[in-house]
Amino acid sequence: MENDKNSYPVTDHAYWSRRWQSKETQWQNKTVHYFLEKHQQELFGDGKHRKVFIPFCGKSVDMKWFAELGFKVVGVEVCDLPIKSFFEDNSIAYTVEKNDFPSTCTVYKSIDESICIYNCDFFDFTPEAEGQFDFIWDRGGLSATEPDNRTKYIDLILTLMSPDSMYLLETFEYDSRHHPGPPYNLPVESVHELFGKYCKICRKDEKEFLENARIGFCQKLDYCRICFYAIQLK
Ligand SMILES: C[S@@+](CC[C@H](N)C(=O)[O-])C[C@H]1O[C@@H](n2cnc3c(N)ncnc32)[C@H](O)[C@@H]1O
C-alpha cells in the first residue's frame, strides 16, 4: 500500500531540528551502509576519483567512507547540529564559510576539501553550487520527503545528474496503513512512476528490515524491507 495522501506528518525544518535535539535519530548507522559495502566493487571498483552528492546527509558515516575511497563528497543538510558533530566525532578538521550561493548559507569543509557540507534546505540547492555529480547516494532523502514533494525533489535531483551519473537510492517497503512515515513507503511501482519517463531503473538488491523497523519506527509492521536501486538517465 502506498501512503495515504494527507495522512502523513509535517516533516519541516523544525521537525528535523527537534529530532536532532532530542537525539531521536534511530536512522543512523554506525558503520558504512550495507548496500554500499556489498556492491562496492561493482559500483566503484575502477578506482576513479569522482564526485558524489549526498542529499539529506545528516552525519552519515558514508561520507567519510566515500572520502577515504578518493571521492570528493558534497552533502546538504538543513540542521547544523549533525554537520558539526560529523566533523567533530570523526576528528576531521574543518572550516566554516558563509556562502551567497545557493541563497545565503553556511558551508562546512574539511581542511583537505574532500568533504563539503552545505547547511541549507535541499530545495534551495542548485547545480551552480558544485556542478553535476558522478554519483548521488540517497539514503534518507527521498524516503524522508513528504510524498507531495517527491516530484519537486526528483526534478532537482535530475538537474544534478551528469549524462553518466548513477543515482543510488535506498527505499523502504512496508504497509503504510500501520505507519504514515517518515520514512515513507516507496514501492517499486512508485519508483517506476516517478523516474520511468527519464531514467533506466535497476533494482539491484533488497534486504529484510522488519526487526530494525519495529525498533526504529513502528512496532505494528508485519513486513518491511529496504531496497537498493541504481538509476541512470536514459
Ligand atoms: C532520515 S535522516 C537521513 C540522514 C542520513 N542520510 C543518514 O543516512 O544517516 C534525514 C536527514 O535529512 C535532513 N533534512 C530533512 N529535510 C531536509 C531538507 N529539506 N534539506 C536538507 N536536509 C534535510 C534531516 O535533518 C536529517 O538529518
For residue range 116-129, list pLDDT tens digits in order: 999 999 999 999 99
pLDDT at 173 over 60: yes
Provide the grid cell at 157.
535531483
d(CA 54, CA 64): 12
Q: What's the average model confidence in pLDDT over 26-36?
A: 96
62 burial class (0-12, 13-18, 19+ CB within 10 angstroms)?
A: buried
- Return the bridge partners of 206, or none: 227
Geometric angle at alpha carbon 76, from 47 and 92, rounded to 5°: 65
Question: Residue 230: its pLDDT value, please?
Answer: 98
Question: Residue 7: its pLDDT value, please?
Answer: 66
Contact in structure between 61 and 30 (CB atoms under 8 Å): yes
Least confident of 54-58, 167-171, 212-216: 212-216
- Residue from 56, 76, 169, 226 to probe ligand 1 pocket by mutation (most atoms less than 8 Å from CB): 56
Q: Which homologous superfamily is 34-40+47-233 in?
A: Vaccinia Virus protein VP39 (3.40.50.150)
DSSP 99: E
- Residue from 25, 77, 142, 160 to probe ligand 1 pocket by mutation (most atoms less than 8 Å from CB): 77
Question: Residue 49: its pLDDT value, please?
Answer: 74
Least confident of 73-77, 98-102, 204-208: 98-102
- The full set of domain ranges for the chain reads 34-40+47-233
Any atom of ligand 1 within 6 Å of the Cβ of 56: yes
Contacts of 8 (CB under 8 A, 6+ apart): 146, 147, 180, 181, 182, 184
| pLDDT tens-digit series, residues 134-170 | 999 999 999 999 999 999 999 999 999 999 999 999 9
Which helix or strand (DSSP H or E) is residue 75 part of?
strand 72-76
d(CA 11, CA 127): 25
- Return the bridge partners of 161, or none: 133
d(CA 206, CA 223): 13
Question: Residue 11: its pLDDT value, please?
Answer: 80
CA 34 to chain centre: 14
Contact in structure between 156 and 102 (CB atoms under 8 Å): no
Any atom of ligand 1 within 6 Å of the Cβ of 27: yes
Amino acid (one-letter) located at 160: L
Any atom of ligand 1 within 6 Å of the Cβ of 147: no
